[in-house]
Structure 1
Amino acid sequence: MVRSTFSLVIAAFAGTAAAQGGSGIRGKLTDAKTGEPLLVCPISVISGGNTFVETNLEGFYELPLPPGTYDVRFWCDQYEGVDVKGMRVAEGFVARDLALKPVEGAFTEEVVVIGTVDTKSESGLLLQRKLANTVQDSIGSEQISRSPDSNAGDAVKRVTSATVVGRNVFLRGLGGRYAATTVNGVSLPSTDPDGHQAPLDLFPNSLLSTLTVQKTFSAEMGGAFAGGVLGIETNSYPATLQTRLRLSLGANSESTFRSRRTYSGGSLDFLGIDDGSRSLPSSVPSDRPLTTRDAQAEQVSESFSNTWSSRTSSGLPNGSLSFSVGNTHSWGDGRAFGYLASALYSRSDAVTNADAQTFRINDQDLIPKDLYRSEFGATNTNLGALFNAGYQLDSLNDVSVLSLVSSSTEDSAQVLRGFSDTDNAEFDATRLKFSQRFLNFNQLRGTHRFGAEDALTLRWQANVSVTQAKEPDTRDLLYLDTNGVRRFRQAANSGERFFSSLGDTSGGGSVSLRFPLGAVEMNVGASAQMSQRRFDARRFSFLFVGEDPEMLGLPAEEMFSGDNIGPSFLAEERTFLTDSYDGFQSIYAGFISAEVSPLERLRLIAGARVEAFTQRLESGSSFAQGQAPASTDNTTVNPMPSLNAVYALTDKANLRAGYSFTVARPQFREVAPFLYYDAIRRRSVSGNPELLSSRIHNADLRWEFFPTESELFSVGGFFKRFIDPIEQVVVSSIQGDVGYRNAEGATALGLELEGRVSLGRLSPVLSPLRVGANLSLIHSRVSLGQGQQISTSESRPLQGQSPYVANVNATYTRESSGTEVTVLYNVFGKRISEVGFNRLPDTYEQPFHRVDVTVSQRLSEDLRLKLTGTNLLNQSSNFQQIGTDVFRYQPGVTAVAQVEWSPF
């Protein structure tokens, strides 16, 4: 069956209206052979009117009609249609259930949904999973609402084999270049100058419809595929008028009303917007680097704000506010218009107080080198808005437009205090940082059906996105205390101001055509996606130019006061040559796939995709001294075959298998033939123009069983073989500087188990209880070979890969009182967070056991209360080297109360 979401919306809208009174026909369509419900099947009046509706995800329909006599057609793709003539409708609704017979020789288990079916419900997601051509796992807004998760990064870890490290998702133990993220089918750029993924915390849950992890490749997907693709689908318009207001208030045991580090910022910081007080002063030369010999050096030095030190304050409660409104309007001639508009604001304080140390190695023993205490305080602010609208011209043609805006800001202050073995002195270091990330995504989509029984379907989309990341005026300060004398240390990252901005504009489009060719269902298409990126950074150090060393012992604000700027201190440009670059990237692709059923219960989907990938980068800052600017220009053409097979063992069980040969490509800076400075990790990184794209063999096998529409059992396994995997290797034993190279090879092998079941199977008393669990066991190995330079291990697990990941959840629902209670458990196995070098062992992040609870209570027809608690075991995050702690902190227990008001 080939139908769009809009038709489902119209059916739901009509059904709701009918339920409130009136007359017409209602019933259910089922498969005469299996009894399975038939979804998205058209029921149309062929005489006496022109009304048209479709069955919903459970096979039910409601066709509102005024009293009269009608001829009605019931039809489904690959089923024998039924015309019922002379149906008489009086007051009220006439019940009419029909069981349609499959067309002789047709594959009766297959339902191909070309449009995006409304899969917010768990049953809808499982139905989509059952009918899909690829191995996939999903979580929808219905399941997300039962958890305390606040954004896509929190929610996706509930999916089998998915973990989150920092802001990035790891799929089947693979992250970075091996785990792609798409929004409505379009890949988005990262807001990290050196990163691979679009940060998931830019997508608050109030804007999400579904999160789907595609685990096997098909020709319609982008070719950069290894661990999988996380597909984010945004909310669509509701069937009837709906407004929703959510207000939440929360507290964290480590931050709320507790002392935390902060500093004096701008007047708009509460909105996550810099008011300009952190901007680069206008007096700074824009055509040349600033030097202490510059005639305006003193004036420019005084123009920088004189805020260097942190202060303490009490953390405030966390809060959020969101609002949404949507509706669908339909007309009798088949036209319809739907829309959804939503907005979100959230703010939270965070405290991370950690004990940390670094080591040197003596024989096989770790000897403490630097021991320190880290006090980190941050305020995180999120602003988001979404507008989604669609227009159905008639039952065969519809278009929709989406605009998404999201901004995320972290305003932080950090103080480190301890002993430095390198300096043989006590030290205290301060960093003040304001980091803002912004995303604007816009998309126009259309679906058009032609021919008898809509045999030909044309789908197209065009998109434009803007991504920005800004770090205005990051300040670093370092003091050493030797024999009780505390002095400012003039060194790299001390007395330094850092300003950076990244802008990435991407655009493109795609078109596909699905049509039958005899017994084969063909799908052909093409796409183009281009991205233009600009990164600029400038850094300035305040140098001691005076003669009185006592000045170095003053507090920072006094030391860099107007009286001392000039005679004792001057700012000088320390921008690196590679602090500025322009990058261009394009992917032109074409694909063809064919779906055929050589046996009654067997589906084969074979396809091929070809991508032409171009990457150009030019680097060189006009504010830096040194070597000439460098550039790189690479073009590759990659063919990618795929084969997926689905065998329906029974009406409720599938056996799936898949194979593909895909690619993983290096990023801009990884192929640049020069050294650059990683401003986030404070280390030098060397690019390698000789890097090759990695090629990956992917193989999957899965058995899945769907006892009911909301229950599932599955067992699956996967194997991946990497050719020329790109690895980050350590090239400096002193600073930990790194570079990139193609390793000899790598493998990943995994087992995935999942189950969801209602305990009503055991006893009717337990019917309100549902439980679910998933477990992933993953083994990976990368061989760096003899050219591994100073890395400690020639062979090790992939960085960030957990050997096991487990999720367990239990939900109690009492419909009569509107009560729902959910308990969730998540744990991951220890994983490498930092690769060891110069005989130092790898640093492992230890397992983290997380228990969360959500209680939802309906207070009235339009008011609901939701209470959540996270990390109830109060687990600590711990990083170790050979069983010795190197970094440990308490995330704390968080409790949130949320009120949701839906007057319509």
Structure 2
Amino acid sequence: MQRLNTKRRQLFLAITAASLGICNIATAQEAETQEAPDSGLAIEAPVIEEMLVTGRQQSAAQSVVTERLEEAFAADLMSSDQISRTGDSNVAVALTRVTGVTLLDGKYVYVRSLGERYSSTTLNGAAVPSPELTRNVLPLDLIPSSIVESLKVQKAYSPELAANFGGGAVDIRTKGVPDEFVFSIAMGSGMNSESDDGLTHASHGEKHNMPAQMREALNTYQGNLSEQRIGDFYKRANPTVTNAERDAFATQTNRDLLLSLNRDVEIYKKSLPVDFSGSLALGNSWDLNDDISLGAVVNFGQDTKWRNKDQERRDIGSPEDRYSKTERTSEETRQVISTNLGLDYQDMHKLQASVYHIENIHDEARIKTGFNGSNYTLAEGSEYVFYDTRMENRELEVGQLTGEHKLDQLNNDWLDTLVFDWFYSDSTVKTDVPNHTTVAGDNTVDPTSGAFISTQLSPRAAMASFEFLNLEDSVISNGWNAKVPLMFDRLELTLSGGFNYNEKSREYYGYTANIDAGGNQSSVLSGNVNDVLNSNRTTDLNNNFDLSVGGGFGTESYVAGQIIEGAYGMFDANWDETWRITGGARKETFKQGLLPVDLLDYTGNSLVKIIDDIANNPDQRYGFAQEDWYPSLAITYMNEGFMNTEAFQVRLSASETVVRPDLREMSDVVYIDTELGMKVKGNSRLEFSELTHYDLRAEWFFDSGNNFTATLFYKDIANPIESTRLPGSDDDVILTFENSLSGEIYGLEMEILRDLGAGFFASSNLTLSESEIVSPEGQGYTNSTRPMTGQSEYVLNAQLGFDSEDGQHSASLVYNLFGERLFFAARNIGTHQDAYEQPFNSLDLTYSWYATDNVTTKIKLGNILNEERVFEQVNSNGESVDILKQQVGTSFSLDVKYTY
């Protein structure tokens, strides 16, 4: 721990002022510093007063700057004020302003070009579960920025963090209880250039879970609802019935089960409403007596937006013959309720209880049309069509207790400086997909123009499928930390240690019911979805409609449990405010069990096989444990005045960590990535990745608030986990995960903040990196040596800010760019090259008008350049093919906030 002298406190204020763009304050501070260099009070008072007038929450921003300077290991931080300036509505987008951070699918964070599996996320230091069906990481778009006090991205490992550390660790710190009465209310609206008109479906906003009649039938007929199985069971229970009576009963029972499904899934066009958002905060603090104060705050927020995310796909082998277009519209509704209660005793003992409820409802409709080059070709005027409707309801409940204690009353030479903090967190997430429906059809189109002529549903097995998915993920996380500073003549030594315990359980269950329509005449299937499924055609037993169950992917469900226990010890030695050495180690025990579940196997054979493997197969992967030590060491050199700086620091650190596969990645299940619409298969043979990290960071802070940071980093990875393509046809893409032999990534990060005068300032950060991964020979990879998945050679963030002298106007122009990054490695598909996501140029503009001390109006334009997401692959003919393109659109929002 470094001591904060008067000179450095002045520096914090200057940096804070510049980072907020208050250039006149920084100038005034410089002048006053020249007049009274020895008086901190004469400088600090007017700065704080001016910043309060402009509503900048100076104290919060100052603490962020303080923490960054005090960190022994490289970390980047963002305050709530900085997030507000850029107008970012959620944590995911806000983190893209951090050096070396990029975003995947609008919600998954890549730190230093390493994917989401190489990053960890905590909420106030505690692990929380993920509501994602396809990933085991928390989607950060779920967390609104309105409840965030600050964000910390630690890029160099230290032992108090979990050992599962790759690119970085993100800690979301939420706002605590206020020191005085607070009240705010805000409302906003917005729109998107690509989302004027879109799609919806007849059951939009409705939940249609698996019918109770079908659940009962699955138990009665032991996981098989075919007419053959129903007839056999009926005959067994009623041996005197005739075969004709048996067949009639089986046909009618199967058809009744089919009719119990919600088939009101017709998709139609509509004019999309504008976005809406609203929030409310109310809190206060009370002094119960001279020693005890109590604070409480309640936050509520809700927002809704409609977006079109249309896609175009082309097959890598035959892009002119095999291609498709998808019209896709989604409604996203998010609701957040949080309550915080805090108790403070003499500023030495602090207790806080927090409860968070976050609910997200995603409802979408999509129509996909295209040609496959064989039975669907433009030349023959035959086009396939898929109608897809999906509702997904995600709920995250988090309850946390935290405490911080200073033991001044012990009257001991060293124990009275002991600081002890602890936390307990209990969180549960539930994700429910009550009815994901896909209906296949055949369009007749003009062979020349492609113009639509007529449509019918497709006479095939699984002509319509109804998917029912449920996920429940629970995490109990608790731990404590203690530190004791020991003061010597020129040495300050801090000893610290702690313990963490995380217990995770996950249950994922999926059922699929299918309507088979093979053998029907065109007259039975002609028309749209409603004409066929919601008519007497399905009730007529003379028509060939049969119900079956099973998704055709194999095992679709699993249960899993995970326990992680970690203990660490550290020392932090500061010699004469010049040299600082910080080191320690963490011992972590990891235990995991994961069992695939076949919900339709009533014989128990699959379970018997699993039990036999666990007992007799030493290579089984259903359950395993690992225990290891993870060391870390950092050396910091400090020199105030070097190169005319107020503070100069150089940090060198080295550490060893591990990255473990996600639960879903280690389960032998096949699922659909709903964002990109691709099949993904897990791999139970995945091994842990072991990482060695080296970081060298230098920081220059000047008295005007200008600063510059440069960081060199290198990571060596054994057994890196990569996303690859399974062998298969060009039009049936299935992704999976494989361990490569080795990997490495290295690069340079640079960050600068510069006061331009006249109310303007500029800040920018740039990351340049290279990576290499080596896969085993003979496994069919087009390129056994290639970049790592998701790695960009460059990532650029730039911001031009302005604050008016009267404090009533501020604006920010923010630019973000990442270089092309590997999407998946080509494998066993001839000599086609790897697929890459292309660079995305994002330009946003935010303007805020502080009409009064209480009222703020904010306008934001997003993706002004109207960029779209493009995935490119070069085929064996040397032709570059856009295998996937997705629209994003330009967005506009207007928000008004009243604060008392």
Q: Same fold (TM over 0.5)?
A: yes
**Matching of residue 382 in structure 1 with residue 371 in structure 2:** no
Alpha-carbon separation, structure 1, partners of 2:755 and 2:388:
52
Mark the CA change 1:369 to 1:176 in structure 2 (over 3 Å): closer, same or farther: farther
1:533 aligned partner = 506
**Matching of residue 695 in structure 1 with residue 690 in structure 2:** yes
Equivalent in 328, 334, 345 of residue 285 of structure 2: 328
Deviations 1:698-744 (A, max 9, x none): 00001101214843210111000001112233332223334433211
Mark the CA change 1:194 to 1:493 in structure 2 (over 3 Å): closer, same or farther: farther
Note if contact 1:30-1:38 (Cα within 8 Å) is conserved in structure 2.
no
The worse-fitting range, judged by mean Cα deviation, of 649-658 and 483-492 is 483-492
**Matching of residue 900 in structure 1 with residue 897 in structure 2:** yes
Mark the CA change 1:250 to 1:189 in structure 2 (over 3 Å): closer, same or farther: same
1:85 aligned partner = none
Alpha-carbon separation, structure 2, partners of 1:695 and 1:865:
49
**Matching of residue 775 in structure 1 with residue 756 in structure 2:** no
What's the offset of the Cα at 1:558?
A: 2.9
Count of residue pairs the alignment pairs up: 785
**Matching of residue 340 in structure 1 with residue 279 in structure 2:** no
Alpha-carbon separation, structure 2, partners of 1:309 and 1:441:
37
Deviations 1:685-706 (A, max 9, x none): 5544443211100000011012
2:344 aligned partner = 392
Note if contact 1:545-1:567 (Cα within 8 Å) is conserved in structure 2.
no
Structure 2 unaligned runs (5+)? 18-37, 42-56, 231-249, 378-382, 446-452, 615-621, 641-645, 875-879
What code does the residue aligned with 1:330 have? D
Mark the CA change 1:863 to 1:684 in structure 2 (over 3 Å): closer, same or farther: closer
What code does the residue aligned with 2:270 have? S
What's the offset of the Cα at 1:497?
A: 0.4
Per the normalisation by structure 2, the TM-score is: 0.82
1:834 aligned partner = 824
Deviations 1:602-624 (A, max 9, x none): 11111100110001012222325
Q: Which gives a bigger RCO, structure 1 or 2 (Cα 8 Å, sep 6+)?
A: 2
Partner SS, residue 867 of structure 2: coil
Alpha-carbon separation, structure 2, partners of 1:35 and 1:606:
25
Alpha-carbon separation, structure 2, partners of 1:887 and 1:367:
11
Partner SS, residue 578 of structure 1: coil
Alpha-carbon separation, structure 2, partners of 1:441 and 1:587:
19
2:52 aligned partner = none
1:291 aligned partner = 225
Mark the CA change 1:189 to 1:709 in structure 2 (over 3 Å): closer, same or farther: farther
**Matching of residue 31 in structure 1 with residue 5 in structure 2:** yes
2:655 aligned partner = 660
Alpha-carbon separation, structure 2, partners of 1:534 and 1:378:
27
Equivalent in 273, 277, 280 of residue 316 of structure 1: 273
Alpha-carbon separation, structure 2, partners of 1:334 and 1:177:
46
Deviations 1:520-578 (A, max 9, x none): 31111111110111111100110127664532334322322353244421221115652
What code does the residue aligned with 1:581 have? Y
Alpha-carbon separation, structure 1, partners of 2:631 and 2:288:
45
1:861 aligned partner = 853
What code does the residue aligned with 1:199 have? P
Partner SS, residue 85 of structure 2: coil
Equivalent in 752, 756, 762 of residue 753 of structure 2: 756
Note if contact 2:795-2:819 (Cα within 8 Å) is conserved in structure 1.
yes
1:9 aligned partner = none
**Matching of residue 559 in structure 1 with residue 532 in structure 2:** yes
Matches within 5 A, 1:618-629: 618-624=595-601, 628-629=606-607
Alpha-carbon separation, structure 1, partners of 2:704 and 2:407:
32
Note if contact 2:127-2:477 (Cα within 8 Å) is conserved in structure 1.
no
Matches within 5 A, 1:708-723: 708=703, 710-723=705-718
The worse-fitting range, judged by mean Cα deviation, of 680-689 and 327-336 is 680-689
Matches within 5 A, 1:209-228: 209-228=149-168
Note if contact 1:770-1:810 (Cα within 8 Å) is conserved in structure 2.
yes
Note if contact 1:450-1:456 (Cα within 8 Å) is conserved in structure 2.
yes
The worse-fitting range, judged by mean Cα deviation, of 341-350 and 511-520 is 511-520
2:419 aligned partner = 457
Matches within 5 A, 1:729-748: 729-734=724-729, 735-748=732-745
Mark the CA change 1:184 to 1:724 in structure 2 (over 3 Å): closer, same or farther: same
What code does the residue aligned with 1:662 have? T
Aligned Cα root-mean-square deviation (Å)? 2.8
Mark the CA change 1:725 to 1:865 in structure 2 (over 3 Å): closer, same or farther: same
What's the offset of the Cα at 1:219?
A: 0.7
Alpha-carbon separation, structure 1, partners of 2:738 and 2:385:
36
2:246 aligned partner = none
Structure 1 unaligned runs (5+)? 3-28, 41-56, 59-95, 100-117, 361-365, 761-765
What code does the residue aligned with 2:259 have? E
What code does the residue aligned with 1:537 have? G
Alpha-carbon separation, structure 2, partners of 1:868 and 1:539:
43
What's the offset of the Cα at 1:418?
A: 2.1
**Matching of residue 190 in structure 1 with residue 130 in structure 2:** yes
Identity %: 24
Partner SS, residue 670 of structure 1: helix
Deviations 1:570-605 (A, max 9, x none): 221115652222110010111000111345411111
Alpha-carbon separation, structure 2, partners of 1:35 and 1:573:
68
Equivalent in 560, 569, 589 of residue 583 of structure 1: 560
1:91 aligned partner = none
**Matching of residue 512 in structure 1 with residue 481 in structure 2:** yes
Note if contact 1:136-1:212 (Cα within 8 Å) is conserved in structure 2.
yes
1:523 aligned partner = 496
What's the offset of the Cα at 1:447?
A: 1.0
**Matching of residue 147 in structure 1 with residue 78 in structure 2:** no
Note if contact 1:498-1:538 (Cα within 8 Å) is conserved in structure 2.
yes
Alpha-carbon separation, structure 2, partners of 1:402 and 1:300:
46
**Matching of residue 500 in structure 1 with residue 476 in structure 2:** no
Note if contact 1:148-1:869 (Cα within 8 Å) is conserved in structure 2.
no
Note if contact 1:574-1:624 (Cα within 8 Å) is conserved in structure 2.
no
The worse-fitting range, judged by mean Cα deviation, of 300-309 and 616-625 is 616-625
Partner SS, residue 628 of structure 1: helix
1:572 aligned partner = 548
Alpha-carbon separation, structure 2, partners of 1:346 and 1:536:
29
**Matching of residue 819 in structure 1 with residue 758 in structure 2:** no
Higher strand proportion: 1
Mark the CA change 1:891 to 1:688 in structure 2 (over 3 Å): closer, same or farther: closer
What's the offset of the Cα at 1:799?
A: 1.4
**Matching of residue 726 in structure 1 with residue 744 in structure 2:** no
1:231 aligned partner = 171
Mark the CA change 1:783 to 1:298 in structure 2 (over 3 Å): closer, same or farther: same
Partner SS, residue 401 of structure 1: strand
Note if contact 2:460-2:517 (Cα within 8 Å) is conserved in structure 1.
no
Alpha-carbon separation, structure 1, partners of 2:80 and 2:865:
26
What's the offset of the Cα at 1:130?
A: 0.7
Per the normalisation by structure 1, the TM-score is: 0.82
2:569 aligned partner = 592
Partner SS, residue 86 of structure 2: coil
